Chains A and B, each alone.
Chain A
Amino acid sequence: MKCGSGIEARQVNELFINIDPIQAGGRLTGDAIKAIIAYGDGYSVCDNCRKPNRLDCISKPPIAEFHKEVAAWLNMDAARMMPGARRGFQAVAHTYVNKGDPVLLTSLSHYTEFLAVEEAGGVACEIPVDGRYIVTPESTAIKIEGVRKKFGKNPVLALIDQVDYQYGNRHDVAAIAKVVHQYDVPILCNGAYTVGILPVDGKALGVDFVVGSGHKSMASPAPSGVLATTAERAAEVFRTTAIEGDVTGRKFGIKEPELMGCTLMGATLVGMMASFSHVKERVKHFDRELENHRVVIEALLSIEGTKVLSEYPRKHTLTRVDTTGSFDRAAETHKKKGFFFSSALNERGIFGIIPGATRVWKFNTYGMTEKQARYLADAFVAVAQENGLPVKP
C-alpha cells in the first residue's frame, strides 16, 4: 500500500511488536496521530499567532500553556520545544562554550553531544565509566581535577546522560551534579531515555538543564524534543535577539537566537502536545514497564550462554545483551548465518533487531502490553529451541 509516489505506507507498529531500542518510547498515541491528521499543513499552528509573535506565546492551540506545563512537569522554570534533544545540546553548548574550552562528557555520551561541543569549538573531555559501565561522582571529580591541570581552568559545561544509549544504565545525575557544581560548572542532564519514560525532576537532580527527546521518549513525531532550565539559566540560553539591520534598522522583537526564532511548528509540536497527557500518566507506571522487561530478560537468560551486559537487575527497559554464547553459536551452522535470528523473529511478528546481529545487540520493551511481553519472551525461547540451543527449565 502506498501513501505517496514510491512511499510505502509504514505498518511496522500495527503488524509487529517493535523492540527497536530507539523507537519504543516514540511510538505515537492515538491522540498524536489524530492531531497530526488535523495539523499536517505547514504553518498550521500559526493561524492565531499574534504579537509578540513567538511560537511559545501562541494561545490557540494552547502552545503557551503547554510550554508552562512541560516546565512545571520537569520541575524547571522555563522550557522550549526543540527539533530533537540534539538541538537542546546545541543551544546550550553554543551559549556556554567558546573555542578551546574544555567540556565534560562521558564515555557513554551520545554522538550528538560531541557534535554540539565540536560546533561550539569546545574540547571533549570524557569521564570514564567504571567496570559496570556506570559514570560515578568519584570519576567525575577525578576528571575535573585532570581537566583543571591540563587546561588551567574548569570545564565550562557538563553534559551527563541520565540513562545512556549504549547500555541503558542509570547514572546518578544528582550526585554528579553536586560534584560538578562545586566547581561552578553548569550541568545539562540528557534525559533522552528518561523524560517521558520515567519521572524526571530537574530541581531534585540539581541540574541547570534538562533535555528530553520527543521522538525517542515522549510518543511524538520526529524531530522533537525539549530543553528546560532554571530561571537563571533561561536568561542566558533563551536570551532575546539584539541584532539590528544597518540599512533597514530592522529589529526582531523577542525572537530567541539559540532557537532561531520559532522552533517546533505544525504537526510535530501538536503531536507532542496531544501525547503529553498520556506521557504524564505513563511515567507514573514505569514499574509495570520494568516488570514486563523482567519477563523478557529472564526468558533470554534461560537460554544458556546468554549474558546481560547492562547493569542488573535492570533499571530501564533498554538493555544490551551478549548472545555470542547462544544465538551466535547457532548462526555458525545456520544456512542464513547471522541473519537467521532477526529473520526468525520477523516471522513471529517481532521487529527491531539489527539484521545479522547475533553477538551483542540491544532491545527495548517500553510500551508493550503484558501479553506482548510474554509473547516476546516465548518467541526468544522458541527460536533458541528450534535451533538446538539448550534452555534452562
Chain B
Amino acid sequence: MMVNKKIWIIGILLVLLPFVLGQVNVCCERTEGGAWCQNSEPGTCNSSYREAPTSCDTTSYCKPGCCYDSLEGLCWESTPQRVCDASGGSWTDDPDCNIPQCNLGCCVLGDQGALVTLTRCKQMAGFYGLNTDFRTNIVNEIECIAIADSQEKGACVYEADYQRLCKFTTRGECSTAGLEGIDGTITNDSTGFYAGILCSADELATNCGPSTDTIMIEGRDEIYFKDTCGNPANIYDAARINDNIYWKEIYSKDESCGAGSGNAGSQTCGNCDYFLGSIGKMATSSTGTPTYGDYICVGLNCKNGKQHGESWCVKDSPSGGGKDPVGSRYYKHVCIFNEVIVEPCADFRNEICLEGSTNGFSEAACRANRWQTCLGQLEDDDCENDDLRDCVWIGGYYYNQTTGTIYPASPKNLTPQGVCVPEYPPGFVFWSTSGTASSLGSTGTGEVNNFGSASLGGFSGSSASSSGSAGSSSSMCSAASTSISVEFKGKYEDIGDVVSDLFGGDDELEWECDGYDKFCDLMGDDPDNVNIENLKVWAREMNTICAAMGDCGGGVNWQGTSTDDGFAAYSDGKRFLGSAGAETIDTSSSTTTTTTNTDTSALGGLTG
C-alpha cells in the first residue's frame, strides 16, 4: 500500500515536472496564426490540425526535409513533409537538399548561362526553343556565365524560298538546324555556320545588310547595331557606321569604342558596362539622344558622388565607444541604378554596420553585434579582441562577478582595474513589462507586427516561446547598478580649553567619512564642504558605463530627448545630484549619507 502511494507520488511528480521546470513546447502542425509546423506553446495550435508534445523535428509530418519541384526543377530547403506534400512537391529527408535531383550544373542557353538543376535547364531550354546544354563539371556561377559568353558565334546562313537568309547565333544552335560549320574562305553560295562573321557581311550575299538602327540583347548591357534582318551586329559605334569591316567581322567588347569605361551619356558609343556604372536603355528627353538608333548608355552612379554598386554605413550619431543613443540604429546604404537603397541593419543594435574601401570604392555590410561576452572579460586585451567581440575597456572601475555589479576601482580592491562594456550598447524593450520573446511573436490572427507600447497589447495568444526572455532592460542594466553608502561620523574633540570645559563652550567638531574608501576619497571628510565636482565627475562616469551596458541610465535618445536620471546622489533620502549634475547639493543635515544607484525606470524618459 505504501509502495503504491510512493509510485503515485512519483508519477504525479513526473507529470508535473516539466511544468515546474518551465514551459513545455509542442509541435503545432499549424498554429492559430496560420504558420505551418512551429514549435510553440500549448494552446497556440490550430485545433483542426495535429499537435505533438515534442519538437517538430521528431514528428513525421513536420520533419524538415527537401521539397523537390519536379516540374520547375527547383529545390526548397527546410520544408516540412506535410507542407511539401500539400504543395504537390516530392519530399526527401534532407533539409539541405543534398540529393541528386538538386545538384547544380551550368546550363548554357545560347550565349547565356545559369547555374541550375538539370530539370530546370531542360525547362528553360524549352522556353527559349534551344537544345539542352547542361554541364555538370561547372558548379560556379561566374565560370558558367563566362563559358556561355565565350560560345563561338557567327553567321548561320541558310536558304528558304530561294533566298539566302542569315541568323546571327552560336555554332551549336546553327548545327541544331542541320548546318555545318564552314572554315576558310567566305563564299556566296554555301550555307552553313561562318564563325566570327556577321550576317551583314557583303561576302555572304544574304539579304541582310547594314542599317542605322540599334538593338538591345536580353541579358547584355551594351547597345548593338542591328542589320536589316534584325540580327545584332557589333557594338554601336557611330564613327564606324559606314565601315564595311565593322559590318563584316565580330569585334569583342574590349576592341570596341570606349572600352574600359561605362560611356554613360555617349551619343556615339554603345559600349555600356553595368559593372562600370552604365547600361543601355531607351533614350528619353532626360537621357540625351544618340546619333543613331533609339538606345543610349545611361549612367547608374548616384548624385551624391557614390558609384553604382558602392555601399556605405549611416549611423545615428554618436555611435561606438558605448555611446550609441537609445533608439539608434545602423543602416547600410547602397547606390544601385541611380538611386540609394536603404537597408536597415537589425534593430536594437543587434547588428552594426561595417564599412571598408578599396581604391576609393566603399563596401559596407551589416553584421552581428558581438557584445554578449563583454562583461565577463577581466583583461583589457581580451576585452578589446576585435576577432571575438565588440567591446571597450573602461579603466578606473571593476566588475565584481560575485555581486554582479560595477564599482569604482579602489586601492583596496584587487585587479582588474577596469570594466569591459559593449562598444555598441544593445537596445532593450525597456517599455515592456514582460519583455519576453513571446511578446514579440504572432497573434492568433496571424499578424506579426512591430512591437511598441501600442502594439504589445495585441500580442496575446502569441506563439514565440522557446529561447528565454528577451531584452529585459532590468537584467542587463542591473549589472551597472551600484548603491554605495557612506556615513559622516562627527565627534567633539576635547581641545583642552578649561573655559570651554567649565562653561559649556564647544569643543572642536571633527568629521570622519566612514564607508567605501574610494568614495570617501571623492567626497572628502567635511560634510559641509563635500567635493561636488568630484561627485559630478563620478556620476557621469558611472552613467557612461551604465549607458554602455545597453539602454540604461540617463542620456539622450536618438531624437535628442534627454533625461537626467540614472546615477544620482542622495542625502538623507533626498536626491541632490543627477548623472548630469543638474541639481544642487543640500548639506543642511549635519550627517550626510550619499547613496548612488541606477534607476531603470528612468529609461521611460528616453523613449522619445
Note whether A and B form a binding pair.
Answer: no
Chain A residues at the B interface, C-beta cutoff of 8 Å: none
